[in-house]
Chains A and B, each alone.
Chain A
């Protein structure tokens, strides 16, 4: 049990004791979950002290931890496999299509059952091994878009393979260029631009991959207005897989930290895509926002009730009503333990996201949470 002031109540807390006004009138009962309605009701008695429960649902927390560990292990394993795959690309005939199918199958299963956890993992950006985790994250995002577009199981498998292999051509380019931390010179840039074709051509020689997979790889840097490379195709000419991978690729690159530029918040990355909707095609972008929501997983937000939290889950079809972990109360004080609320529950319908936290404010929060 913990004593707090009404001004510090956060939606989702549980009352540990009945609340009375100074005249003894019952305002709220023990065991009641704190809602926006209750907080408004108590504004008139802001000096009241209340007792709230501190214990959380231990069993649920334990199960969730286990689940996160499981998904995280699978995610890690696919990244390692991808690393092996890409590093052993000297001889494409050694590539094992069944292993790839297995990797895609695992990712797809996890997306069907634990997509929120998987997306959370994809948004935890690590510095090193950018290219391998990037490839896996692009696959996760591509499968999520493909599912939203209603692709069949077979199509999803092919899409997943194309996504896992989309940057395979990079291994044909001098390592010091693609590992380079500084901006590329124009000559190096020309070299990098060869990777879609190099990748598709080297896999094409093996005859293990369908035309759709190869086109997904070859055309993933084409843009709907014809400004892409290598062929300068336009919207109707670009394969659907390539269009999906393009959106996933650009989004993941934007939210990743690179030595030569700052990382965008997930929301800014989405906004960035919409600003360039001519390049990506509305159909894909619409599916992407439906699946990722307006405030994607990993976004820090401020609520209209004053609390600060992070988006940790998406309710399908409710892009404005994510599940949140609340870290700070209305007074800006860090909570002992984050509190979870789901904005998609009716009781929370008037709790809204006011804005996305970025810049210095975001930096301070990330430091706070890291030192915790």
Chain B
């Protein structure tokens, strides 16, 4: 069973990163539960979680949004293509969201190890997760939608 305590750290952290680095105010769209596999967007960052909480979290964005995120991560540098510099900026956003979420999880008593985020490029990415259901959280702002796909469950004690 997916608990709200697993979801909020990721959502809060995403809001914080957009606000802190991009000065962007975002809103949470309608949550929905979808069956696995997760359908990706142009750029997908996959994170594995083990420990008290198990599963995957995948951040998905379209190319346009990726360029805008890279631009604010790179101090306002105009970014026009999904090159190495752009990819490392998007990866770093994944690192920050995940790192802060992991800290919040541990402060709430869920100790977990998180794998370094890996980046997958391409709309046709399908990520199958062990859980049959995935919670999709759209984070909507002026730079487009950052979708957080969460498939996390509590480990058996």
Within 8 A of B (CB), among A23-70: 36-37, 40-41, 43-44
Q: C-beta contact mask, A311-322 vs B, less than 8 Å → 1, else 0?
A: 000000111110
Report how far A267 CA is from B91 CA in the complex, Å.
20
Within 8 A of A (CB), among B63-114: 73-78, 84-85, 88-89, 91-92, 95-96, 98-100, 102-103, 105-107, 109, 111-114
**Contacts A41-B111, A271-B76; is A349 near B95 (CB within 8 Å)?**
yes
Min CB distance, A324 to chain B, in Å? 15
**Interface membership of A128, Cβ < 8 A:** no
Q: Do the beta carbons of A350 and B111 come within 8 Å of each other?
A: no
The answer, among B20, B88, B107, for a CB contact under 8 Å with A318, is B88
Interface size on B, residues (CB 8 A): 30
Residue numbers in B under 8 Å from A305 (CB-CB): 99, 103
Report how far A350 CA is from B10 CA in the complex, Å.
13
Q: Do the beta carbons of A317 and B88 come within 8 Å of each other?
A: yes
Min CB distance, B119 to chain A, in Å? 12
Residue numbers in A under 8 Å from B109 (CB-CB): 44
Q: Do the beta carbons of B75 and A274 come within 8 Å of each other?
A: yes
Q: Do the beta carbons of A304 and B77 come within 8 Å of each other?
A: no
Chain A contact residues: over half helix, strand or loop, or mixed? helix
Within 8 A of B (CB), among A278-320: 282, 285-286, 289-290, 294, 304-305, 317-320
Residue numbers in A under 8 Å from B84 (CB-CB): 317
**Interface membership of A346, Cβ < 8 A:** yes
Q: Do the beta carbons of B116 and A349 come within 8 Å of each other?
A: yes
**Interface membership of A141, Cβ < 8 A:** no
Q: Do the beta carbons of B89 and A320 come within 8 Å of each other?
A: yes
Q: Do the beta carbons of B75 and A270 come within 8 Å of each other?
A: yes
The answer, among B85, B91, B96, B106, for a CB contact under 8 Å with A40, is B106
Complex: chain B residue closest to A350, CB-CB: B99
Min CB distance, A86 to chain B, in Å? 34
Q: Do the beta carbons of A40 and B102 come within 8 Å of each other?
A: yes
What are the nearest 3 A-B pairs in CB distance?
A350-B99, A349-B116, A40-B106
For the A-B complex with A320-B73, A352-B95 known, give 5 more contacts whose Cβ atoms are closer than 8 Å.
A43-B111, A44-B109, A349-B95, A350-B98, A350-B114
